[in-house]
């Protein structure tokens, strides 16, 4: 397993991050109903990930319901005593209790959400605390000052952002610098062969400002696993078979072209399609660690092999070309003039 610095911080994390959104069997109130795994399987996944060299686990207070996934991790920490082997990341922002302050990035919500997460996770610190999405109703300085206070108190070690517009992220970094507040060291964002829009603004921004990118949904919600084929129904046990409207959105010539290119490169390497898609991300210079989800040990073991795959420059070029997307204005104009944007 390779370890990389997270942004401009001194924190070193494994290139594979175990995503915990599937941890715990959520009831029908949760968006993860029937697509998660039970507690025993969650424990096995964490044991196996650490055995393979993974030192990074990502969760959020909203995963499951009422902090279910955090509680599963907290119980595992309690039973195994392995807390100090893990770089623990969690997130806040979305609704966790009723009322106007039950959601958002106000000082009130952040401080209460952090205490709740610490209690559920049975730990005295959160290694990477991330805002799950920007809050347009709250001044960025208020959010950053609350996070800065948590760092000063030792309850949080590093802070990160997720699902931020590029302008807001840059504004946040400037606020941190000008007001002498803690700054984000990472951006967690959707990024995959089928979702490359991040490359318009966010990737150059993160490279310039030295933020590590943590891709979520690196397999396009499951589309890049190799389970799906053109003009064929989704397998009954697949995630997209439960969310058929999402599968229909993937039914485009570009996406089938991407799968075809992945098939060919994977065959050359003698590995799976999903692992090849993950390896493509790990070869992107701005990416620090790729967040993978798993509901079984077989899925986890397959995805772990991505950390060892070496793609040639020619193979990267083929995947890049197959997944080219419309840059739009002004990026296409800038690229025409100077060859890059």
Q: What is the pTM of this model?
A: 0.93
pLDDT for the residue numbered 236? 61
Sign of the Cα torsion 329, 335, 338, 341 reads positive
Q: Which residues pair with 255 in a beta bridge?
A: none
Judged by average pLDDT, the poorest of 5-19, 102-116, 218-232, 287-301 is 218-232
Split at pLDDT 50, 70, 90, the class of 244 is low
Which CATH code is given to the segment(s) 3-225+271-311? 3.20.20.100
Segment 93-109, tens digit of pLDDT: 999 999 999 999 999 99
**Which of 155-159, 236-240, 322-326 has the lowest average pLDDT?**
236-240
Say how many C-beta atoms besides its own lie within 10 A of residue 50's C-beta: 17
**336 has a pLDDT exceeding 60:** yes
Residue spans of the domains in the chain: they are 3-225+271-311
pLDDT tens string 23-70: 998 665 655 656 789 999 999 999 999 999 999 999 999 998 889 999
Q: Which residues are marked as active site? A: 63
Average pLDDT over residues 109-127: 98
DSSP letter for 192, please.
B
Report how far residue 324's alpha carbon sits from residue 327's, in angstroms, rounded to the nearest whole number: 9
């Amino acid at each position: 397993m390779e370890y990389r610095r997270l942004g401009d911080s001194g924190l070193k994390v494994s290139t594979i991050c175990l995503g915990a959104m599937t941890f715990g069997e959520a009831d029908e109130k949760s968006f993860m109903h029937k697509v998660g795994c039970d507690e025993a399987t969650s424990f096995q996944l964490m044991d196996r990930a650490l055995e393979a060299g993974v030192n990074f686990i990502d969760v959020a207070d909203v995963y499951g319901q009422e902090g279910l996934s955090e509680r599963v991790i907290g119980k595992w920490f309690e039973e195994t005593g392995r807390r100090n082997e893990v770089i623990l990341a969690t997130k806040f922002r979305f609704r966790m209790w009723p009322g106007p302050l039950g959601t958002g990035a106000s000082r009130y919500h952040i401080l209460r959400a952090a205490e709740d997460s610490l209690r559920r996770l049975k730990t005295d610190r959160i290694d990477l605390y991330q805002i799950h999405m920007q809050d347009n109703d709250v001044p960025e300085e208020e959010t950053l000052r609350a996070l800065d206070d948590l760092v000063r108190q030792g309850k949080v070690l590093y802070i990160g952002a997720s699902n931020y517009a590029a302008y807001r992220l840059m504004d946040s970094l400037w606020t941190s610098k000008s007001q002498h507040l803690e700054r984000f060291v990472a951006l967690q964002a959707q990024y995959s062969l089928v979702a490359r829009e991040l490359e318009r603004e966010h990737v150059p921004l993160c490279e310039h400002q030295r933020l590590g990118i943590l891709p979520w949904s690196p397999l396009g919600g499951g589309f890049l696993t190799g389970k799906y084929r053109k003009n064929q129904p989704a397998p009954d046990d697949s995630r997209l078979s439960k969310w058929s409207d999402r599968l229909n959105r993937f039914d485009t010539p570009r996406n089938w072209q991407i799968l075809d290119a992945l098939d060919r490169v994977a065959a050359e390497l003698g590995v799976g399609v999903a692992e090849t898609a993950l390896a493509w991300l790990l070869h992107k210079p701005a990416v620090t660690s790729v967040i993978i989800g798993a509901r079984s040990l077989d899925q986890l073991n397959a995805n772990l092999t991505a950390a060892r795959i070496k793609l040639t420059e020619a193979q990267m070029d083929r995947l890049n070309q197959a997944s080219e997307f419309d840059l739009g204005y002004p990026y296409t104009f800038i690229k025409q003039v100077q060859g890059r944007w």
